[in-house]
Amino acid sequence: MSAGKQTVTDWVDAHASPLSDWNQTIWHYGETAWREYKSARWYVERLRAEGFEVEEGSGGMPTAFAARFRRGDGPVVAGYAEYDGVPGNCQAAVTHREPRAGLSSEAGGHTDPHSALGIGALGGFLAAKAAMEAHDLTGTLKFFGEPAEKVRGSKPIHAARGYYDGVDAFLSFHPAYLLPLSNTVRWDTHCGASYAAIYSFHCDEAEQWLGAPADSPIPQAHTAARAPGANDALVAMYALTKMTKESMLPFRAGWSLSEAILTMGQATADNLPAGLAQIQYFCRVPEIEMAEQIFRVLDRNAESAAGAAHCRWERHWVCKSRPGLANHALADLTYRNLAAAQPPRYGKEAVAAAREIQANLGLAPMDEPFLEACERLLDPREAERILREDLPPSQRNATSDDYTEMCWHAPTVRLYVGRPMLKAPAGFRYPAWAMNALGGIRATIDPTLWCAAKTIGMTVVDLLSDRAALEAARREFVKRTGGGVGGRHWIAPLCDYDAPIHFRWPEYVTTPRGEEWWIPALPK
């Protein structure tokens, strides 16, 4: 191990306790897409304290940031933090189902968890910075704050606004969420494209639906028939989309379409129809053309539903992200550093917590409760072979994540470090709260972020000090894109919209009752 990489591992070991504390801070914030105010502020202040220049609100996104540390001339290496949680997943860091103090289970919580993602990446870049200063390494570190990943929010916008221009290599890390992708790196099959949009239905003139009854003493009486309204338009679109889903695409290649209702009502108990209703549709697809076809159908459904309910409709883009692009040179380099860092190891305290979760679920606690994949390296070529077993030969991408935006601007690696996952008896499925809790219990999640920090930090040092390694990654990027940025096979940013920050995204609010989730906790 080189002196620079030894400095990285020593730095992470020396800062193991602060890294754990930082992760706890972000995990307990549990903020959700586009509303990660405390989390973003924490990162901005931390990075400035560490000597980074930080632009807040980058790309017109209040909870995004772009940070930079420059030490002389040299390569530009970039990474990022995500910090958004998921509504409806509020869980305390305990071994039984319980929301965080003062909140209901409807509040936000970290599922993947993005808290460890962000702190693991931050730790790696801070460790690399320490190595730069100790060993006279030159170059620039860029570290982005990427909000709203759960709706693929910020990265398409950062890419389209030029924030990724001039970067020589991107390092993308995620705690394992899909086997066999644990303690390995993506090889050929990277994540696919994703599109998301909010459909808004507006009933502006409900009283114009039908004329007043001829014998009505008051024109347009309170009891007169009125337009079905926005709620009915939304329900009609929901039903139409369920009916037409099978006809959206040919029966090939894995894809999915999900929906989330953001706003309904406004009329409370009166007999007036709703003036506004909104629904978000989100698709995950291997190819961009598939997303375009899905949204052509959705547009038709919106038009039909609006017409039937006497409404007008609008489509507002939330996301248009590109599919991923492999880079074997950078993947191989990162995997070697992962092997040097060694995968997570779970001690007695972690095992005890896992066994307690099993007991609380009525299971017989296991002597070795964690899946072997959590603590075992997996060669990326073998991971690729296993991943491809369930995919058609013609399918180039699978699942979705918007790190793929970075792939089209510089060589990019996708690193997966094992996270705590429990063995299950035959036929048993763990409830979501159990996985969420393991992401917040220090003994179970800290090994993930420590391993990630060492792997990322060592890879940054390699890219700054080994110009041959960086050049190999660059040559492969040029070849795969047909000439680099703007080349024959290059895909330009798809984002042609502003950050969709003005919608009724779920969030924490402050009222005379104090700070709470926007859906208040009901009394017990």
Compute CA distances 189 → 185, 298, 320, 484, whole Å.
10, 28, 20, 20
84: left (phi over 0), alpha (psi -120 to 50) or beta: beta
Model confidence, pTM: 0.93
Q: How many CB atoms lie within 10 A of CB 377?
A: 16
Q: What's the mean pLDDT in 116-128?
A: 98
Cα–Cα nearest to 447, from 3, 4, 6, 12: 12
Concatenating the DSSP letter of every residue in 424-472 gives: --TT----HHHHHHHTTSHHHHHHHHHHHHHHHHHHHHHHHH-HHHHHH
Strands 76-81 vs 514-517: parallel, antiparallel or unpaired = unpaired
Compute CA distances 117 → 11, 67, 236, 405, 418, whole Å.
18, 17, 39, 18, 11
pLDDT of amino acid 223: 55
Confidence class of residue 216 from pLDDT cuts 50, 70 and 90? low
The CATH number fitting domain 3-191+323-481, selected from 3.40.50.510, 3.40.630.10, 3.40.50.2300, 1.10.260.40: 3.40.630.10
Q: What CATH number belongs to 194-211+222-322? A: 3.30.70.360
Arithmetic mean of pLDDT over the chain: 93
Query: Tens of pLDDT along 296-305?
Result: 999 999 999 9
Strands 76-81 vs 139-145: parallel, antiparallel or unpaired = parallel
Taking 70 as the threshold, does the pLDDT of residue 222 lie above it?
A: no
Cα–Cα nearest to 333, from 35, 2, 86: 2
Q: Hey, where are the domains in the chain?
A: 3-191+323-481, 194-211+222-322
pLDDT of amino acid 228: 85
In contact, 172 and 79? CB cutoff 8 Å: yes
Cα–Cα nearest to 328, from 386, 414, 391: 414
Question: Integer distance in angstroms from the first to the last C-alpha of the chain?
Answer: 57
Taking 70 as the threshold, does the pLDDT of residue 71 lie above it?
A: yes
Confidence class of residue 174 from pLDDT cuts 50, 70 and 90? very high
Q: What's the mean pLDDT in 150-166?
A: 96
Taking 60 as the threshold, does the pLDDT of residue 515 lie above it?
A: yes
Q: What's the mean pLDDT in 485-493?
A: 96
Q: What's the mean pLDDT in 163-176?
A: 98
Query: Tens of pLDDT along 422-446?
Result: 999 999 999 999 999 999 999 999 9
Q: How many CB atoms lie within 10 A of CB 222?
A: 9
Taking 80 as the threshold, does the pLDDT of residue 126 lie above it?
A: yes
- Structural Rg of the chain based on CA atoms: 25
Q: Return the percentage of the chain with pLDDT > 70, whole number.
A: 95
